[in-house]
Structure 1
Amino acid sequence: MKSLYENMVLEWHVADEEDHYIERILWISPARDTVISIAVNDDKAFPIMKTYSEYTAGIESNLCKQIEWINTSVPLLDSAIEPEHLSLRDKSWDAIKDIVSDEPGCFDKRYRGSCVREAQERTGLHKSTIYRYLRRYWQGGKLKNALLPHYTNCGNYGADRTPTEVKRGRPRKFQDEPTGINIDEETKQLLRSGIRLFYNSKDKAPLKHAYQKTLEKFFATGFRQDGRALVPVLPPTDKLPTFGQYKYWFKKEMDLENTLTSRHGKKRFALDYRPILGSSTFESFGPGSRFQIDATIADVYLVSEYRREWIIGRPIIYIVIDVFSRYICGIYIGLEGPSWIGAMMALANTTTDKVQFCAQYDIDISPEEWASSHLPQKLTADRGELEGTKPSHLIDILGVDVENAPPYRADWKGIVEQQFRLTNSRSIRFIPGAIKERYRERGERDYRLDAKLTLREFTQIMIHNVLYHNNNHHMLWYDRNEFMVADEVTPVPSELWHWGVINRNGRLKKQPDHIVKLNLMVQGEATVTAAGIQFKGMHYSCDMALREQWFVKARAGKTWRVKVCYDPRSTNEIYLWLDEGRSFETCTLLEREERYLDKRIEEVEDLLEIERYQGRHQEVNNMLSKIELDAQMKAIVDSAAKKTNEAIQHSEESNHKRVKGTRQRRSNEKLLNREQEVFHLSNRGATPKNSQNNVIPLKRDEDADKPVYIPPADKLSKIKAYLLEDGDDE
């Protein structure tokens, strides 16, 4: 007979019943006489006790058998779980871990009840919640991940939601943007009809035009008379679907083959679009032994580089500091929230030539004033931006060992934490727009309105602050060792750094500048177009693209994507990623994009987002004006067509004769137009009514008397009469 073991799943089957009873073994007594089990598919199940012999008899008589029970909703690896779900799991585990660890006591009803009451008092959870956690833990095979929230059971993936009074979809970024309406089945049918009539047609109209025509035909509430035109009247914008909704349902329900066939025809579809399916403070020995990195949000508000009246919020400060000497080796000041981008910028700055870096901000220094341009042996950081797969380049290629401090243990990187406090008390609190107190008194002036500095100007202040700290900050509390005391080393970061480089070298790392940047810079994709290499709304060019005729190929054929790296601090250049990161090609900003020159990526993104918002804000007005224009055009065309058709009906000329005399009629028409278009000047600003002269002398100099000839009125009259006559025009 097969022996029993914990977590074994058994299926009991009774011949007269269709339902099968499935249970999981939770515990077996050492004497192998008692078994504790729980029903797997029962939402109200509790552990029950049975005898070992009962299972033995059931297996021998084929009343029960072992089965495989795989719970696909319980992931085994934490790396595939959302952080929010892990937090909920840990909260559930904290509530029951003391109960389930006491086996077999936790299987006794009375003892379990007292333990649940203690857990209630400790956690504040309802007892039914604790019992539910216990049941899920036991039924899930006594796995901690069985306590993960079952969000996979929520909703109805792939099915459209039933519209209610609450507006669906993401909230708008700006309050005055059109919000659209909830799309029900009737509205969807109208949108489908509009797409079929106005987009899937030989006219090849753009989707925006099809959207406009759909609103005109299916959503107009009436018409208003504007001269000879009937202009459709549309409901308010909050009663109309937006273009975004129209585009969403178009893509969601689009039959691509039908659309291409309707717009281009069957022959063109077969030629160009048919499928081609054939084959074809830790201890630190010296400078560089360990750096610490951290970020904070500066307590100051800044204004935009483009328009100083715009307040853009508070910047992010990253600092990289050497543990041994307290020497600041790298900084990053920007608008990118604490993330890998900010950490990358700060780490790249540690290897940058600081003379060149300061020169970018119009600050001249000597190499001795900021001497660090190295990578460390170890890097201590938070469990945040340097946790995950992105630091792998640091570890594998650059040889930097990354260590993350445990949660809520800021003291493990207290050196860099302390530097933020010093920076704030030393400089930031005296800057206009600084936050003096966390909470303002009622009626007190809003400190945000005092913001005066741009991001560049604030970075200049921070650079001066770093130079002061590295070269002049006297650390009385620094514990110098006996060798420092013997060499009379002053506890100033720069002197400690230089002493350590001479006496305790071998810890600092040097890598080629382009290797460091390529492995730290943000990677992205750009698009090669006929107008240049397009990246984040800007256009670039490079020697390789011109040499290999990329832009000619893009215009003659199709665009394609290329892998690039970029520095968010500057829009002037991006870099093509070549040969798996071992080489690169520099792409420079085109001259026509001069408004982006010397700006930061985040500032350009803000500008483009504002411009997109302004464009979206005018879309409705533009569409209404376009509807009115189309109505005016249609009224004029209809009137002209009616008059011309009536004239053709009353005329006895054949189509051949109408076409044959076109040239002579054009000449005669031109003479008549000249009579109406000729300039008549007078001193009083009016044309003489009864001028009998056919020749008017125009005096240029003293004796200039050459006349300007104007055809006689009788000749024009003859031409008019001739045009009105019936007959051949030749």
Structure 2
Amino acid sequence: MIFYNQVYQYTDKEEKNRIRVIEIDSDVTYFVELHGVTSMPKRATTMDLEAEIQSDILLHIPDPFAKSYSDKDLTEKQIQKRDEDWGIVSEGWDNLKGDLLNKKIRDRAFDKLAYQYNTSKIKVKRVFTRFWQRGLNKNAILSDYMYSGGKGRERNLINAAKVGRPRKYMPLSTGINITEEIKKQFKYVIKKYYRKKEQPSLTDTYYYLLREFYADKYYEYNVLKYNVWDASRIPTYDQFYYWFKKFEDPQTDIKLRHSSKEFELKHRPLLSNSTLETDGPGTRFQIDATIADVYLVSSFDRSLIIGRPIVYGVIDVYSRMITGIYVGLEGPSWLGAMMALDNMVMNKVEFCNKYDIPIKESEWPANHLPEIIIADRGEFEGYSVENLINNLNVKIENTSPYRGDLKGIIERYFRTMNGKIKRMAPGAIQKEYRERGDDDYRHDATLNLIEFTTIIIRLVIEHNKKIIDKYPLETEMIADRLKANPINLWYWGIENKKGRLQTVTNQSILRLNLLPKGNAIVTREGIKFKGLSYGSERAINEQWYLKFRKKSIEIVYDPRNMNQLYIPHTDGYNFDTCYLLDTSEQFKGSFFEEIQFFQELREELKKEETINQIENIINADAEIEAIINEAVAEKKSTVPINLSKSEKIKNIRVNRQAEKIMNRNNEQFDLIDKVNEQPTQVVEFTSKTLKSEVLTKKSNSRLMEKLKKKRDEEFEKGN
């Protein structure tokens, strides 16, 4: 409810946010803003203001000008000036209130008062502003002497009396009573300042409370400053802390100060476990990747450091058995995940033999597909996931971003693995940030990729035989005196539970469904994919290049070897192979990234040359224009103006023949080398030679004369 002479503060405005109610007239409320040297009344409907109060947009706050002055504490000059100004205010507010509240005729009331009291209009406005802003009482119009005294200037205090507030003992203030309005202020600052990503402390939030609601604003050298009220008029920190704990919402605070992911990852209640979501081995596999905390060296030269390897792991949720791994340099990406899934269905005895680790099949019996794979969204969104789902009957569950806890079992295994590597392997990362003077652990890198893979296999075999602490054993397991290691749990689950294990008889079929997909275009030049040309026996036999030109077909490819593409059949078990044509022979044996690099480089070179090409065209055009302009000018100066159109095109054939004869003299070949500065030789011509030369010259001369004569005759006929 709105009250007369009450002070309120808007919570949705940074500046000009405090108002004082100066009049309530039926359904209309008049108020002034508590800022500015002059602040005139504004009007709003009482219903609108009450609605803003109900929605906590407008909060009631203590009166910032509620101060008690005694005349004995004022100087005679202050009292005299106050009484003079009060005469103006009382006359206007008692007799001209309606005019002063009406914006259209307010200036007339100010003019009348200024004339009546022989003062300026601006002074009348300022006096009324202080009256309205500071409490609608006589002492409200006192001038701001508290800001006088030359603040910021050094005083000469030699032989001067003591300045400033006299020292005296004051009892500790107990603060103010916490009303419902003050509780709203507490809630407001907690929401606005405390629950932010910047994570301000509770003490900082308390200071924001004082700044927002319990301080006066003023400017010192154009810098905004705050003057906090006396301790008897503000809530204490202990009061604020007490009510903060009352209002505390840990879930909301964590989500807003950190993130929802942070809450779900580290603070949500743990009332279940992953094992309860399974019904035997193969129900759910979890797959994830980590960058191992160790630096490796090249397999060809141990002096070359190749960085940290990627380790992918696939684990059965029910038994905790590692069912697939990949150690390499691919990823974290679909390629790395693809390699781990390929290893998942591989016979592990054969796999371990490649690394000279002899095992029995019972030590690592996993070579199956599961019913469900839980994976990261980034790696298993798109690519060949649809093929896994549709062709191999494997469901994919993608976790939310940054929710590693949803794959907690494989994450925990990675932590254990990395911890052991850090303790044993040279070149392991000992701490995240090295300080000045610390040894660079990268210099200690010793293991190559093959050796590191062998270590990971050893750790997997050890894990599969290790007792799992806190495994939720069923009563039947306890009755069977089961030792809860992954191998025992795997075999017990197969025998006593349903499970969902699927056997893959042909690993190539799995690989066909794992490889990335793409779209190729059938053209006359072959099947085009990523700028490369491929050919297919099926395409030739079925005349694709004639029947299906510009048709898009779905293919799968291995980015590590672009020599072949594969066109899968709809059954998901058969395919046609496309081979690289001679026109793209230069990219044979290249990785997909290498081909992309060369193609991008080619485009960059073309773009770099674009400016030069444009310059060449512009310069050539300019030279051509110059030649044309010169020819036009010469034609104008040499060709008679009075020639008719028919005269211009007459005798074209004769003119052409004459021009041809002249050109032949210039174009004829002379195969005798001419040596500069040779001594002059006297050549004796026989009468026969001389006669031949004279006849040749005469012959040419007669031909030219005949051509000229014929041209002149044709010209005269035309006239």
Structure index of larger Rg: 2
The TM-score, its normalising length taken from structure 2, stands at 0.46
TM-score by length of 1: 0.45
